[in-house]
Amino acid sequence: MKKLIYLFLLSAFFVNCKKGQSDAETNQSNYNETAVLERDSLLEQPLSAIVSDTIVEQSTDSLTNEKPEKKPGFYIERGTKYSIWPHKINDSLRKKFNEEFSDEQKYIIAALNRIDTDHIARRDSLIVPNEFHDDFLQYSPFPQKVNILNDVDKFLIFSYPVQAFAVYEKGIQKKWGPTNMGKKATQTPRGLFFTNWKGRRVRSTVDDEWILNWNFNIHNTGGIGFHQYAMPGYPASHSCLRLLDADAQFLYNWADQWILKDSQTLKVKGTPVVVYGDYNFGIKGDWYQLYKDPNITTISESELTEVITPHKEEILKQQKIRQEYFKETTGL
């Protein structure tokens, strides 16, 4: 009798195991089919069809050391002027990104995210403008006109909070671009500087394997300057101001070098440069919130005026010295 009971229980066990295995296979089959349909559907739809108004954070920045929460589906959250595009969660979405945007548009996207185009593939999410403009100045966080600079021939400013720079001539903004400044342990010093010497291709004094293209020094004793170098999207340098290659080349040709009377005596200073503000280290930059608030990185004229005012007298003093020097040497 006991043997019959044992055989009955053993038979029931195998039936249940087989049923559980069958259910799991069915569920797995349904899951795979759903995933394939979702992927194929995504690739066939235009961008507007896969944009969701539902706020879904797919992942977090690597700086936070937080693991992204796993959520189903893919969502591109659209704001009034910018959208945030989850970039690393799915090969299909990454493929859609590469097909959707031209090289010129990818350059704009990279600049808005404070990265170079080589770092696009490494980001977990990207800020993307809803409309692409021919004039890059339309994306600038800086004011187009700064009246306190009306009598300043050339002026360059770097903002730590928004990791960006702007070029002004007679108070009119001529150019802006992204920068990655000094990391928390080796921050870029703030204040007024003047460009001094430059070099097309310079070896870093920190590590001679680091090649600095289009380098323009602003702090001679500190060895600090702006130049082209890798831009991961946050302050990462040893106090220098990293730039995209095109921006570094522009500033290299635009700014003025100092003029020395001899190897030890400074006669004329170069272009004034102001570095200002503080950065919230360890978290994403404010520009990642542009899809929620398109004005979050906007710098007002009054803010810049407050920053520039303490340095205005010295800027004009050095400008006058330069003008008088060239008047004496050229007769113009």
CA–CA separation, 3 and 332 (whole Å): 116
Give strand pairing partners of 267: none
Instruction: Judge residue 53's burial from the number of C-beta atoms within 10 Å of its C-beta, 0-12 exposed, 13-18 middle, 19 or more buried.
Output: exposed
User: In whole angstroms, what separates CA 159 from the centre of its chain?
Assistant: 13
User: How far is residue 247's CA from residue 71's CA, in Å, rounded to a whole number?
Assistant: 39
pLDDT at 194: 98
Number of domains, the chain: 2
Residue 41: pLDDT band with limits 50, 70, 90? very low
Which of 84, 104, 129 finishes a domain?
129
DSSP reduced 3-state for 201: strand
Q: What is the pLDDT of residue 141?
A: 98
Residues 95 and 219 in one domain: no
Question: Among 73-87, 115-129, 184-198, 280-294, where is mean pLDDT lowest?
Answer: 73-87
What's the confidence (pLDDT) of residue 21?
40
- pLDDT single digits (tens) 190-245: 999 999 999 888 876 666 666 778 999 999 877 899 999 999 999 999 999 999 99
CATH number, position 149: 2.40.440.10
Range of the domain at 99: 47-129
| pLDDT surpasses 70 at 163 | yes
In a domain, 199, yes or no: yes
Check whether residue 181 and residue 324 sit in a common domain. yes
Residue 43 has pLDDT above 70, yes or no: no
Percent of the chain with pLDDT over 90: 60
**pLDDT of res. 204:** 66
Same domain? 104 vs 227: no
